[in-house]
Amino acid sequence: MTTTYSSNNVLNAVAAAAKTLGERKEEVNRLNVFPVPDGDTGTNMSLTIQSVVSDVANLPIGATGTEIRKAITTGALMGARGNSGVITSQILRGLCEGSQGFEDFNTESVAAAFAKAREVAFQAVRKPVEGTILTVLRDAAAAAKNAADEGLSTEDALDAIVAEAYASVQRTPDLLPVLKEHGVVDAGGFGLAIIFDAFTAALLGRAGTMVDEMSFMRGSHPKVEIEQVNDWEGSQYRYCNEFLVDSDALDKDEALEFLSTMGDCELCVGDVPKFKVHVHSDHPDQVLKYFLDRGQISKVFIHNMQIQSEERNEKLAAEEAAEKKPLGFVAVAAGEGQGAILKSLGVDVVVSGGQTMNPSTKDLLDAAGAVNADAVILLPNNSNIIMAANSAADLAEFPCAVVPTKSVPQAFSALFAVDQDASLETNVEEMTEAAAAVKTGEVTWGTRDSKDAEGNPIAEGDVIGIADGSIEAVDDSIDGAVLTLLGKMDAEDADTCTILAGEDYSDDDLAALVAEIEAVYEDLEIDAQRGGQPLYPIIFSVE
C-alpha cells in the first residue's frame, strides 16, 4: 500500500526539522572549524529554516503549491544568516524548484528535488570545498537518485537519504584536513543531516530520529569527538558581512567578482529584485558602498569574528576548567523563583515543567546529559513526571537515578540530605527518606464542579486546597484554604513551614498570609519565598 503525503504533512515535517535543529544548534556550533572558527553554524542554519517556518505559517489556508514553494524560498533567503545559512537557503530553494511539476511527494519527486538542490547550491559557491555541507548534499542527492533507480518506496528512499547523509558526515574528516586535524566532523554537513533526519522522522510518524542509532555518534566505529577549535589565526579576514539587497540592476556575476577582491566566503544569491550577500572582509565600508551604489540594503549584520572567537574560547575554557562533580542534579520546576531556589541548593539543570506542562523523557535525558558529573539524580517534583524520569534514568548511558519527589518542597528537603562523598545509591536512599517526611499543600481554583475527599461539593471557581494529592479544603479565599490545610496536615506538630508564592500572588498578600499563620501557630518557623509558579498561588510544606 502506497502512503500519500499531503502538503500539510510535508510542511509539518519541515516545522519539526526546524524545532529539532533549534534544540541541537549548540551541538552543531561546537563542531565548527571551517572556513573560520566563528562557531555559529548551527545557529545560522536554525535561524534560516525557522524563517521558512514563519513565512509558511503566514500563508492563507488552501495555498497552492506554487505559493508554498515561493514562501519557502523567500523565507529562506530573507532569513539566511552566515555562510552556512545562505547555503542552506539555496539548498531549500533547489528542493522547491526540483519538486515543481510533480503532483505527489514520492521517490521520483524527492530524487528530482535533490538533484536540483545539488545544482543550485553548488552554483552559489564559487569555490566548493570537499568535506563540507556541499559534500553531504551531493551524497544525499546520489542516494535519492539510487533510490529512484531501484524503485524504492518513499519511506525507504527517505531512510536511505538520511543514512547516506550521516555516512557522508562521518567521511568529512577524511576529505578536509582541518577537520581531521581537530578530530571533528563538518558542522554544516552535520546540521544538514539533522534536518533531513528530523524531517523524515516527523513525516513518517516516528518518535525518534536516526541519529540516535548512528554508529559515528556512539558505537563500534571510532567516535568523532565534538571539540572546539581554539585558534583564530587561520582566518585572513576579520569581519563577517551579510545583508539583503533590493536592486533591479545588480549583476550577480559582477558582484561576485567584486566580492572576491574584498575577501573570501563570498556569496550573492537570489534573483531580481532581492539578493542576499555574504562575505568575509576587512573592509565592510567598501562592500556596503558597492551595493548601495546599485540598490538599497537592509538587515545588515557585521560581526567581528576575532572578538566572537575570543569570547567563545573564554567560555569554553571556563567550561573545561569546571571541576567534574561526583554527583549532579536535575530538577523540574515551574517558575523562576522555584528554579532559583533549587539552583541555590545545588541543582545543576532546572527543567521547566509542572502540573500542566510535563517535560518528556528526552527533555530529562538531555538535561541529565548536560550535567558535568559522574552520576546524576533526577528530581521530578510531580507525580505525573516520575515515570518519565524513571525512563530517562534507564536510558542514560551514565549512572543516573530518580528520587521520586512529588513537589518542589520535597526536593528542597531531599537536597539538604545530599552527601557528595557518599555513593549514588546511598544518596538516593537518604534523599528519598528526607522527601517522604515532607507534607505538601497546594492551593488553586477548581476548574469544574467536583467533590473533595469527604464528598463535599466543589463548584467551578472555588478555592481548593490539596494535601499530598487529596483535596482536603474548599474555601472562598486562599488564606482560608491554607489555614484549613495546615490544620489537617498537623502543623501544630511541625517545626517549619516553607511557602512558595505564585506569580500572581502579591507580596502584600503573602505578608498578610504569613501573619495569619503566625497568629495561629506561634512556634512554627515560616520561610516565605517567591516561587513564581503559575496557576497555584500558594504551594507550601510542613515538616
Q: What integer pLDDT is reported at residue 224 of this predicted model?
A: 36
Q: How far apart are CA 411 and CA 443, in angstroms?
A: 18
Q: What pLDDT is stored for residue 219 in this prediction?
A: 31
102-to-66, 110, 144, 376 alpha-carbon distances in Å: 11, 10, 16, 51
Asked if pLDDT for residue 509 goes beyond 90, the answer is: yes
Per-chain mean pLDDT for the chain: 87
Question: Class for domain 239-309, per CATH?
Answer: alpha beta
What is the model's pLDDT at position 35?
A: 36
pLDDT of residue 218 exceeding 90: no
> Among all chains, which residue has been given the C-alpha cell 502543623?
491
Q: How many CB atoms lie within 10 A of CB 153?
A: 14
Q: Write down the pLDDT at residue 1.
A: 44
Asked if 376 and 406 touch (Cβ cutoff 8 Å), the reply is no
Task: Please report the pLDDT score of residue 210 as a whole number.
Answer: 62
**Tell me, what's the pLDDT at 115?**
97
Q: Which CATH number fits domain 7-213: 3.40.190.10, 1.25.40.340, 1.10.3720.10, 2.60.40.10?
A: 1.25.40.340
pLDDT in tens, 180-211: 876 778 889 999 999 999 999 999 988 766 65
H-run or E-run covering 463: strand 463-467
Least confident of 72-76, 221-225, 275-279: 221-225
Which pLDDT belongs to residue 312?
Answer: 67
Tell me if domain 239-309 and domain 323-436 are identical in fold: no
What would the pLDDT profile of 510-530 be if each residue is shown by its tens digit?
A: 999 999 999 999 999 999 999
User: Which of 133-137, 386-390, 436-440, 484-488 is the least confident region?
Assistant: 386-390
- Identify the pLDDT of residue 2: 55
> Is domain 323-436 given the CATH code 3.40.50.510 in the classification?
yes
H-helix or E-strand containing 331?
Answer: strand 325-333
**Band of pLDDT at residue 322, cut at 50, 70 and 90:** low
CB 374 within 8 A of CB 326: yes
Question: Around Cβ 206, how many Cβ atoms within 10 Å?
Answer: 12
Contact criterion met (CB below 8 Å) for 39 and 31: no
Note the CATH number of domain 439-542: 3.30.1180
Cell of 337: 523563583
Query: Cα–Cα distance between 93 and 121 in angstroms, integer?
Result: 9
Give the mean model confidence (pLDDT) for residues 10-38: 78
User: How far is residue 257's CA from residue 122's CA, in Å, rounded to a whole number?
Assistant: 17
Q: Specify the pLDDT at position 363.
A: 87
Mean pLDDT of all residues in 404-424? 95
Q: Can you give 377-435 as a three-state secondary structure string? A: EEECCCCCCHHHHHHHHHHCCCCEEECCCCCHHHHHHHHHCCCCCCCHHHHHHHHHHHH
For residues 33 and 320, the model is more confident at: 320
The whole-number pLDDT of residue 360 equals: 85
- Tell how far CA 198 is from the center of its chain: 13
pLDDT the model gives residue 223:
34
CA distance 185 to 225: 8
Answer yes or no: are the C-beta atoms of 502 and 534 closer than 8 Å.
yes
Q: Mean pLDDT lowest for which of 86-95, 318-327, 434-443, 492-501? A: 318-327
When pLDDT is averaged across residues 323-338 and rounded to a whole number, the result is: 91
Residue-level pLDDT at 221: 32
pLDDT single digits (tens) 101-155: 898 999 999 999 999 999 999 998 878 889 889 999 999 999 999 999 999 999 9
Residues 6+ apart with CB under 8 A from 246: 273, 274, 275, 295, 296, 297, 298
pLDDT over threshold 90, residue 41: no
pLDDT 10s digits, 444-480: 998 777 777 788 888 888 999 999 878 999 999 999 9
What residues have CB less than 8 Å from 514, skipping those under 6 apart?
499, 526, 528
How far apart are alpha carbons 400 and 392 in whole angstroms? 8
| 3-state secondary structure (DSSP) of residue 442 | strand
N-terminal to C-terminal alpha carbon distance within the chain: 62
pLDDT at 341: 94
* pLDDT at position 177 over 90: no
Give the residue extent of every domain in the chain. Answer: 7-213, 239-309, 323-436, 439-542
pLDDT tens for 287-307 read 999 999 999 999 898 988 878
